[in-house]
Amino acid sequence: MEEVRVYRGRTKFTRDRLRETRWEDRGYIAHLVSIEDVILDPKKRNGWASAIMYATLRNQYPIEWECIELELKNGIYVNPDEFRRRVAARRGRRLQEEEADRRREEEQEKRQREVWLKLGGKL
């Protein structure tokens, strides 16, 4: 019976993701079920291995975590369209952050190159 539990989510959110997920990607659903378990029973975070798993899941699936937590704690269901909107918004923010990081690195390298040349270095 435990084999079935791995894929049987408690939230409508997780069941929606199951309907959208291919068999090859079933580990994703197992992770969502683990997120449900940890949110419902915070004691499962005790111990270093559990803490690492908790942190990994929270970092790997921040939007899913937020949606599952909303449903379990507040009864607020995030429908598939809203979930996709949140994913797209996060992706957009991450792209902007990456672009800003790239620009900062380029500026820093430009300043370092100028100092290098002032000190007599060659390109």
Report pLDDT digits (tens) over 22-66: 999 999 999 999 999 999 987 777 788 888 988 999 999 999 999
To which residue do tokens 């019976």 refer? 1
The model's pTM: 0.74
What is residue 71's DSSP assignment? I
Q: What is the CA radius of gyration of the chain?
A: 21
Would you place residue 3 in the very low, low, confident or very high pLDDT band (cuts 50, 70, 90)?
Answer: low
How far does the chain reach from its first CA to its final CA, in angstroms?
A: 67
Rounded CA gap, 96 and 81, in Å? 23
Q: What is the mean pLDDT of the chain?
A: 91
Rounded CA gap, 72 and 25, in Å? 24
pLDDT at 103: 95
Exposed / middle / buried, residue 67 (Cβ in 10 Å: 0-12, 13-18, 19+): buried
Tokens of 2: 């435990």
DSSP, collapsed to helix, strand or coil, labels residue 53 as: helix
Would you place residue 11 in the very low, low, confident or very high pLDDT band (cuts 50, 70, 90)?
Answer: very high
